């Protein structure tokens, strides 16, 4: 199947002269056949500059849970833009949004707003360190908590290193090596390993930070093992270590109260971004009062010119209203649609000779290709024997058929996706798999 990317191709070449790699986030570089350029979006659909239309399961990598260009949200943003933009002061909007979050999320007694997930994690780590007077953070391989120097360690580990100690790898060149001394990275979903580590170093540990579902790293979308999060909570309680849930992926998608509501495990501090705001750039750190009140004047600092930007707060309030109204009907629909997508993709995976695997959590599905049928419980296992060339061909084949997923095989679902979109996408997925089978036979 041929598709024309000529206009994108020309813009990509032009962009590469003035924008490193032609992209403004390195995550956008890994696109087939090269980063594309887009011109408009509505509901579940986006159009690129060549006029190709796609059913969009990328959704800005998660934020657009209410779809593109939702008229109620655009209206709320526009009205506040007209009323006023920056005050370097407070608006009632931030109270309204904070009250909504504290009503919905079990672990949110107070809220502070910022602009990106990376920033929210930065605040959360600072609160934990300020509260405990300790410095070391326990994190888990394959969990992404943003790109800032003090946490972008230990995402990856060489396969041959010990599972318990995990040799720390920096995510980037240019990170100060000194920061690694404050990070301890473990395989996830292994409470015994966590207990061994905590019990040996408890007096130095400022926080345990985890995604409640290992959602985000390449090829994952791995749920916590039964009872795992509760054991992490119990260990943190026992050793008086703050527990941070990074719910930047799961927040308001897995459950309107976050994954913490779904699993019944309440962290001390939580970070949100993405689906909190919908089409606006907004993040939040929330948590139990004793931690959050550290920011109420005094020596623990959180500042930002752009924090709590009123038009974005207005958009986020409407976004959360849409998700929460009618007893959460919109989110229930998303979960239904993503379950149909998962079931249809699983049927395709079962029927093909390709090593295709399907995983999901409510509201998002992951497709991948691996040369093993075992079910991964942590990042090392998920990464092992991944068939990258097949994954890249799958991404390109779907895109050529008008179905847009992330290059890592992740499909986010929004309120705008309907049954016809899912049906069409599954037809195209079946055709893409048939094409990949043929291509493999020819190799
Ligand atoms: N934590 C998690 C779990 C994320 O998924 C992300 C973004 N993918 C971040 C933190 C960083 O958020 P941002 O890109 O907004 O800085």
Rounded distance between C-alpha atoms, residue 233 and residue 241, angstroms: 9
CB 108 within 8 A of CB 179: no
Domain range 6-68+328-442, its CATH number among 3.40.50.2000, 3.20.20.140, 3.40.50.300, 3.90.1150.10: 3.90.1150.10
Distance of CA 115 from the midpoint of ligand 1 (Å): 11
* Residue 364, both tokens: 């998002």
Residues with pLDDT less than 50, the chain: none
Select which of 246, 255, 268, 421 is catalytic. Answer: 246
117 lines ligand 1 (CB under 6 A): yes
Q: Residue 264: which region, alpha, beta or left (left: phi > 0; alpha: psi -120 to 50)?
A: left
pLDDT per residue as tens digits for the range 278-312: 999 999 999 999 999 999 988 999 999 999 999 99
Kindly report the CATH number that applies to the domain delimited by 71-323: 3.40.640.10
Buried b or exposed e, range 286-313, using 16+ CB within 10 angstroms? bbbeebbebbeeeebebeeeebbbbbbb
pLDDT per residue as tens digits for the range 144-153: 999 999 999 9
Distance of CA 243 from the midpoint of ligand 1 (Å): 18
Atom of ligand 1 nearest to the CA of 146: 11
- Close Cβ partners of 20 (under 8 Å, ≥ 6 residues apart): none
In sign, the C-alpha dihedral spanning 54, 59, 64, 65 is positive
Q: Is 53 tagged catalytic?
A: no
Rounded distance between C-alpha atoms, residue 46 and residue 55, angstroms: 7
pLDDT of amino acid 249: 97
pLDDT of amino acid 164: 59
State pTM to two decimals. 0.97
* Residue 285, both tokens: 């750190």
121 lines ligand 1 (CB under 6 A): yes
Sketch the domain layout of the chain as residue ranges: 6-68+328-442, 71-323
């Amino acid at each position: 199947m041929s598709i024309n990317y000529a206009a994108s191709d020309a813009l990509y070449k032009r962009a590469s002269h003035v924008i490193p790699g032609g992209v403004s986030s390195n995550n956008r570089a890994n696109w087939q056949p090269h980063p594309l350029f887009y011109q408009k979006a509505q509901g579940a659909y986006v159009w690129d500059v060549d006029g190709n239309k796609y059913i969009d399961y990328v959704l800005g990598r998660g934020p657009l849970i209410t779809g593109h260009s939702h008229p109620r949200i655009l209206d709320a943003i526009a009205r506040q833009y007209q009323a006023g933009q920056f005050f370097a002061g407070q608006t009632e909007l931030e109270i309204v949004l904070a009250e909504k979050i504290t009503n919905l999320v079990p672990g949110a007694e107070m809220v502070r707003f910022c602009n990106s997930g990376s920033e929210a994690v930065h605040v959360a780590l600072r609160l934990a360190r300020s509260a405990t007077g300790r410095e070391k953070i326990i994190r888990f391989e394959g969990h992404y908590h943003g790109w800032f120097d003090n946490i972008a360690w230990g995402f990856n580990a060489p396969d041959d290193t010990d599972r318990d100690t995990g040799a720390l790898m920096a995510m980037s060149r240019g990170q100060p090596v000194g920061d690694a001394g404050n990070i301890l990275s473990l395989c996830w979903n292994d409470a015994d390993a966590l207990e061994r580590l905590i019990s040996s170093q408890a007096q130095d540990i400022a926080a345990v930070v985890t995604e409640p579902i290992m959602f985000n790293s390449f090829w994952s979308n791995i749920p916590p093992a039964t009872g795992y999060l509760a054991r992490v909570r119990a260990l943190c309680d026992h050793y008086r270590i703050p527990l941070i849930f990074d719910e930047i992926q799961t927040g308001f998608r897995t459950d309107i109260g976050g994954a913490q509501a779904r699993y019944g495990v309440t962290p001390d501090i939580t970070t949100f971004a993405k689906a909190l705001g919908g089409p606006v750039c907004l993040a939040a750190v929330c948590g139990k009062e004793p931690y959050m009140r550290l920011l109420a004047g005094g020596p623990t600092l959180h500042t930002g010119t752009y924090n709590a930007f009123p038009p974005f707060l207005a958009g986020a309030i409407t976004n959360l209203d849409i998700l929460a109204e009618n007893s959460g009907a919109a989110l229930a629909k998303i979960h239904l649609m993503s379950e149909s997508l998962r079931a249809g993709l699983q049927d395709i995976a079962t029927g093909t000779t390709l090593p295709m695997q399907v995983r999901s959590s409510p509201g998002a599905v992951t497709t991948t290709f691996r040369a093993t049928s075992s079910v991964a419980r942590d990042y090392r296992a998920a990464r092992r024997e991944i068939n990258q060339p097949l994954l890249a061909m799958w991404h390109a084949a779907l895109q050529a058929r008008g179905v847009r997923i992330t290059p890592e095989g992740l499909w986010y679902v929004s309120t705008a996706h309907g049954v016809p979109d899912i049906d069409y996408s599954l037809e195209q997925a079946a055709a893409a798999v048939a094409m990949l089978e043929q291509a493999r036979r020819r190799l």
